Amino acid sequence: MPPVVATPMPSAPPTPPVMVKADIATARSGEVPFSALKSPPFGGQMEVAVIQFGQSSSGLGGNDAEVLSRVAQIQKRNGGKVRIVAHAAKDASGTSAAAIERANYEVSRRRALAIVNYLTQRGVPRNAIVAEAASDGEPKYDTNTARGTAANRRAEVYLDL
């Protein structure tokens, strides 16, 4: 039997580094390039947007509208479910831990509903949207800094095609 000779695989061209334009603490929605988005570790959903909010705010800004309009277009063209997970981070104050917990939950619920309302106004069927209020229980960034706290005031939008 003749000897087996391994032929080298042609090397792929190096991929350029992903440049993230946004400073996470002051990020405006839409500033993170689509190529930088990743799928969460659960299920087959892909993160398609992150909407940042001000303290105790559930209002959507100009970039938010543009980003969410694109999400609506993708969903209407391809179907699938949109999943929204809204978060809070030291958004509320109160006289007890329970009051603060309820208030942070309410802030995250209002954030989720603001996105649901925007998407339904753009033609996404309500039964194609799942919204969750995570309160301040799932911080993604260090909450010991103002920058990390601000970055945790977010809503993540996933699409499961």
Closest CA to 108 of 68, 67, 51, 70: 51
CA 71 – CA 94 distance, rounded (Å)? 36
The amino acid at 108: S
Closest CA to 72 of 22, 133, 132, 117: 117
E-strand stretches of 19-134: 46-52, 81-86, 129-133
Summarize the confidence of residues 23-45 as an average pLDDT.
49
Task: Write down the pTM of the prediction.
Answer: 0.70
Determine the pLDDT at residue 94.
73
The amino acid at 102: R
pLDDT per residue as tens digits for the range 108-161: 999 999 999 999 999 999 999 999 998 877 778 767 777 777 888 899 999 987
Domains and CATH numbers, the chain: 25-160 (3.30.1330.60)
Contact 112, 84 (CB under 8 A): yes
pLDDT per residue as tens digits for the range 75-109: 999 899 999 999 988 767 777 888 888 888 899 99
Range with the lowest mean pLDDT among 40-49, 50-59, 116-125?
40-49
